[in-house]
Chain A
Amino acid sequence: MTLLKVENLTMYWEVLRGYVKAVDDVSFSLEKGHSLGLAGESGCGKTSTALAILRLLPYNGRIMGGNIIFNGEELLQMNDQRFQKEIRWKKMSVIFQGAMNALHPIQRIGDQITEAILLHENISKKEAVDRASKLLDLVGIGAERIDRYPHELSGGLKQRTVIAMALACNPDLIFADEPTTALDVIVQAQVLKVIKELQHKLNLSMIMISHDLAMIAETCDEIAIMYAGKIVEYGDVTTIYKKPLHPYTQKLIKAFPSVIGPKTELATIHGFPPDLLKPPPGCRFHPRCPYAMEICRKKDPQSAKVDGKYHSVACYLIGD
């Protein structure tokens, strides 16, 4: 069953000098129980996409077009009140980047979790507290820590608290925005293990936003590679990592070092990502692409399916 279907979503940031084309014609879909990785470098539009879906855009974020269909319902047509009451946090929640800043410093972690539950569900305080302690057990913090303040917890435990909060209302879909970037490797591995166990136990659907392809490889079923506001390649993780077709994906994967296997040369991509106020005409990757042709400079390539169920690529080198 398709849980979330995003079609041609376009979101621009309105600034004094015009529009920053942060998300441009982005389409993807997510099956229930699957996890999708949105990968790309800083400024490629991965977080903007999530904010647009969650309706958490700041005042200058403008959705210019597209459809977001969640559980068969068009979200862009829904009024704000209903969205807040019925969708956000109840059906879709977020694990924000940097747990240290996402928690309220002078509220006990248990209170912060119960608050989220009570806001969305008609249950008694006691039931909410019970659920909060169950959640703390589930993420491996332990129910006995329910009365702790955030400063009494280490970074890894704070990150787990934020995960528990995201799970508070049994959402259908969880967005995880760089859930482990501020953590050390060993703690990162512990948190990733919790996330993987939860995916398995609760049959969670997730959208994992990260620049770290290695982390996505370990946690996701499908992956969408974004570059300069567009999805350049989409498919299941094994296909994308083993047989990437887009020149950007090929280079990006080779730019990540690995601790296992033989040592390989790290790939370099010459140049810098474009200014999205005035993105280059045609394919947005063409100024950095070693295979750029005449047509790449003129016409924007459309995403086309290649063999297999999911795999699609937006590049003139592939297909016609």
Chain B
Amino acid sequence: MEESVVEIHDLKKYFPIKLGFLKSLTIKLVPEIRAVDGVSFKIAPREVFGLAGESGCGKTTTGRCILRLIEPTNGKILFKGTDLTALASDRMTKLRRKMQIIFQDPYESLNPRMSVYDIIAEPLTIQGIATSADQITKLVSTALEELDLNPPEEFMYRFPHELSGGQRQRVAIARAFVLKPEFIVADEPVSMLDASIRSEVLNLILGLIEETQCAFLYITHDIALTRHICNRIAIMYLGTITEKGPTEKMIQNPLHPYTEALIAAVPVPDPTARRTEIVIKGEVPSPINPPPGCRFHPRCPYAKQKCQEEEPQLVNATKDRYVACHFPLG
């Protein structure tokens, strides 16, 4: 087993809820939203680890906590052995060279007043990697070429509004990879793109991961797509991981009832496909007061007495699979 690049131990992030003045006088305990509640995983070099779940399950918060874009409440984040949570901000800035993020919406993540050249050159100058203009131009044009924005001279001096959605997202990806990072968090990097453009962008990302050998955290709501990108995935529900394991095995043979329901809910591009229908009722409950016991039990079709009382821990089910369920399927 290769040494992992990133190791997360029991990561927690609670957001306090702002109360009005009068309420704050009477209430002793400030209510909190438990966005991330004890998440642990490791990512090895070249590995694409998927974090999947519905909106509000805490997948984005987890990604941002790892890069300390949000300060975690509790837990350890080890990046090649260094604990990031204890790091002073100047040392963190230096380490950021090795960790980058790709955001979901390329219409918002690129500064509309900066040219493509400036956007990609900015991290290079901040980190002091290139000093002379020649050097920067060279690095920027290779970065653009790697993402098939050819010829680079044509794109370099354009502004984001002159690019299509797919081209913008390529610029955002180029900006993340230009520093040759060892770890990248990608928050729904292709969900804004059309199908015909999506697969090409994904292939470019996979190529770059192979080339730079970086560890890649892929945050997504699209389970079907994880099959094509992720080596392993973790399914999150209300701030906790419910199941973790190799993508293909989990999709073919889910162990957690939530994973099963999630996969059954994905529409299939085949009108002749016959499928088992498991449509679970209701919607995700509020993370302010998560249900006692197993968080999924009010919606679980197989829930028993024990599920209401005791919270299941994420335990090893088979060789490389983990599940947090008292009565796993399969």
Q: Does A253 contact B (CB under 8 A)?
A: yes
Q: Does B167 contact A (CB under 8 A)?
A: yes
CA distance A81 to B197 in the complex (A): 43
Q: Does B55 contact A (CB under 8 A)?
A: yes
Q: Does B200 contact A (CB under 8 A)?
A: yes
Q: Does B291 contact A (CB under 8 A)?
A: no
Which residues of A lie under 8 Å from residue B26 when comparing CB positions?
Answer: none
Q: B271, A186: Cβ atoms under 8 Å? A: no
Known: A41-B196, A255-B199, A259-B223. A212 touches B283 (CB 8 A): no
Q: Mark A250-275, 1 if CB is under 8 A from B, else 0.
A: 01110111111101001111101100
Nearest-neighbour CB distance to chain B for A191, whole angstroms, equals 10
Which residues of A lie under 8 Å from residue B199 when comparing CB positions?
Answer: 255, 266-269
Q: Does A20 contact B (CB under 8 A)?
A: no
Which residues of B lie under 8 Å from residue A270 when comparing CB positions?
Answer: 200
Q: Does B227 contact A (CB under 8 A)?
A: yes
Q: A258, B224: Cβ atoms under 8 Å? A: yes
Q: Does B24 contact A (CB under 8 A)?
A: no
Q: Does A149 contact B (CB under 8 A)?
A: no
Q: A186, B221: Cβ atoms under 8 Å? A: no
Q: B268, A260: Cβ atoms under 8 Å? A: yes
Q: Mark A187-218, 1 if CB is under 8 A from B, else 0.
A: 11110110000000000000000011111011
Q: Which of B200, B266, B280 contacts A268 (CB 8 A)?
A: B200
Q: Does B25 contact A (CB under 8 A)?
A: no
Q: Does B198 contact A (CB under 8 A)?
A: yes
CA distance A56 to B288 in the complex (A): 42
Q: Does A127 contact B (CB under 8 A)?
A: no
Which residues of B lie under 8 Å from residue A211 when comparing CB positions?
Answer: 194-195
Which residues of B lie under 8 Å from residue A259 when comparing CB positions?
Answer: 223-224, 227, 251, 263, 266, 268
Which residues of A lie under 8 Å from residue B273 when comparing CB positions?
Answer: 217, 260-261
Q: A258, B269: Cβ atoms under 8 Å? A: yes
Q: Does A242 contact B (CB under 8 A)?
A: yes
Q: Does B267 contact A (CB under 8 A)?
A: yes
Q: B268, A218: Cβ atoms under 8 Å? A: yes
Q: B266, A156: Cβ atoms under 8 Å? A: no
Q: A266, B202: Cβ atoms under 8 Å? A: yes
Chain B residue, CB-CB nearest to A41: B194
Interface residues on chain A, number (Cβ under 8 Å): 43
Q: Does B127 contact A (CB under 8 A)?
A: no
Chain A stretch 224-257: residues in CB contact (< 8 A) with chain B: 237-238, 241-242, 251-253, 255-257
CA distance A273 to B199 in the complex (A): 15
Known: A185-B266, A190-B279. A272 touches B197 (CB 8 A): yes
Known: A217-B271, A263-B248. A256 touches B195 (CB 8 A): yes
Q: A189, B279: Cβ atoms under 8 Å? A: yes
Q: Does B275 contact A (CB under 8 A)?
A: yes
Q: B167, A272: Cβ atoms under 8 Å? A: yes
Q: Does B272 contact A (CB under 8 A)?
A: yes
Q: Which of B197, B263, B266 contacts A214 (CB 8 A)?
A: B266
19 examples of A-B residue contacts, CB within 8 angstroms? A42-B194, A184-B283, A185-B266, A186-B261, A186-B262, A213-B195, A214-B267, A214-B269, A217-B267, A218-B267, A241-B272, A257-B227, A258-B270, A259-B251, A259-B263, A260-B275, A266-B228, A272-B167, A273-B196
Q: Which 9 A-B pairs have the closest CB atoms?
A: A189-B265, A214-B267, A41-B194, A257-B224, A266-B199, A269-B196, A184-B54, A214-B269, A268-B200
Binding site for A on B (CB under 8 A): 54-55, 164-167, 194-200, 202-203, 221-225, 227-228, 248, 251, 261-273, 275, 279-281, 283-284
Binding site for B on A (CB under 8 A): 41-42, 154-156, 184-190, 192-193, 211-215, 217-218, 237-238, 241-242, 251-253, 255-261, 263, 266-270, 272-273
Q: A41-B194, A154-B283 are in contact. List 18 more A-B contacts (CB 8 A).
A: A156-B283, A185-B265, A186-B262, A186-B283, A190-B281, A213-B269, A241-B270, A252-B195, A255-B195, A255-B196, A256-B224, A257-B224, A258-B268, A259-B223, A263-B227, A266-B199, A268-B196, A273-B164
